[in-house]
Amino acid sequence: MKSIYDIQQLLKQYGTIIYIGDRIADLQLMETELKELYQAQLIEPREYSTAMLILRHEIRLLTEKEEKDR
């Protein structure tokens, strides 16, 4: 797993498609869905941690960009 797209495909396997229209909110909702899948033991710990790192990195980049643009 290397990208947000990979995470979206993983969630799609479990019937979850996320699109709110706000990119940061989408990513945060993906975090919540991944946490639920992990707690239900449907995904492996390594898969979970990798996905969370990717999401948090992307959220941080977008948040910094928004602050910079203000």
**pLDDT tens sequence across 6-53:** 999 999 999 999 999 999 999 999 999 999 999 999 999 999 999 999
Whether residue 55 contacts residue 4, with contact meaning beta carbons closer than 8 Å, is answered with yes
Distance CA 13, CA 23 (A): 21
pLDDT at residue 70, as a whole number: 83
pLDDT at residue 46, as a whole number: 97
pLDDT at residue 30, as a whole number: 97
Whether residue 23 contacts residue 62, with contact meaning beta carbons closer than 8 Å, is answered with yes
Fold of the 4-69 domain: Helix Hairpins (1.10.287)
Domain boundaries, the chain: 4-69
Whether residue 38 contacts residue 45, with contact meaning beta carbons closer than 8 Å, is answered with yes
Contacts of 44 (CB under 8 A, 6+ apart): none
pLDDT at residue 54, as a whole number: 98
Whether residue 52 contacts residue 4, with contact meaning beta carbons closer than 8 Å, is answered with no
